[in-house]
Amino acid sequence: MNISELTKRAIQKISKQGEAITPLLFFDTFCREARIHKVSVEDCELIKNYIEKLDPEFRKEAQRHNIRNIREFLSYLTSSLNRLNQNHLAKRHNSLLSLVNKIIDAVSLIDNRELEHLTGRTNALLNRSHTAENLDEMAREWSRFAFEYKRDKNREKLSKFVPIEPQDDLDSLIDKIIPLLEREKDLRDTTKLVDLVMKSAVPSLVSFDDREFKNLQKELQEEPDKIYQPETQEKIDRFHDRRIELDRREEEIAINEAKQAIDSFVDEV
């Protein structure tokens, strides 16, 4: 079948339907007949060619609509242009930006140093001129953080000390941990421990007046938990060694004096 025959069939079909032959109706009917009879006509590829020239997103959307004729193509374009109303887009953009900023503000309250830095950089990006590439790069950073975040591993560590349920969040975990810490604090009663340890470092056989010892004792009375610091424990160890040495010397002196007294008594007798 050639072009002339297709033209004749298109005119006959329109006339049979009782419609006026308009350029647009003729074009659609002619191309439909060409497709039916599998005749390739370049002009009938206009719609397909124009769709191929659209932006990728619009092209994908147009292909989903299965546009068959010029009317449908023009209808699609009109609808798309209406959706692209600039005021609407600007308002939507501002609303999305405001929403993202609020989310960032909320996320920044979570105690995580890397998350804090990431939200700070994201907020700075949104508040200055940015491109799609900038936003895509920032999105990749968020994806990396989500991928590398060791949520399950952290929960596994805590599960050794408190029972953890799937629905537990940070607040509920803290509520479970605090009672453990309070019990631990009650058990160790650091103030009493400091008093006992410091008393045990004082020589029992000689008078002891050491400025460094008094300073440490005062410091621990004000901040008892310092006793758990390695530096403090080393100082206390030295005082214990000194106590042992002073008591040993005093004991030797006392023994010698007692021996001399006994010898003197024996001589007199």
Q: Name the H helices within 162-222.
A: 170-188, 190-200, 211-222
- So what's the pLDDT on residue 87? 62
Q: Which of 102, 161, 162, 151 is nearest to 126 (CA)?
A: 102
CA–CA gap between residue 77 and residue 60 (Å, rounded): 13
How big is the chain, counted in residues?
A: 269
- So what's the pLDDT on residue 88? 64
Cβ atoms of residues 44 and 37 within 8 Å: no
CA–CA gap between residue 195 and residue 235 (Å, rounded): 15
The set of long-range contacts for 57-63, using a CB threshold of 8 Å and a minimum separation of 24, is none
Cβ atoms of residues 9 and 19 within 8 Å: no
CA–CA gap between residue 39 and residue 26 (Å, rounded): 16
List per-block mean pLDDT (blocks of 10 residues) for the chain, which spans 269 residues: 85 88 84 85 81 84 79 82 68 78 81 84 84 86 84 80 81 83 67 85 80 88 86 90 86 81 70
Residue 110 belongs to what H/E stretch? none
- So what's the pLDDT on residue 105? 81
- So what's the pLDDT on residue 192? 81
- So what's the pLDDT on residue 85? 65
Q: Give phi and psi for 148, each to the nearest 5.
A: -90, -10
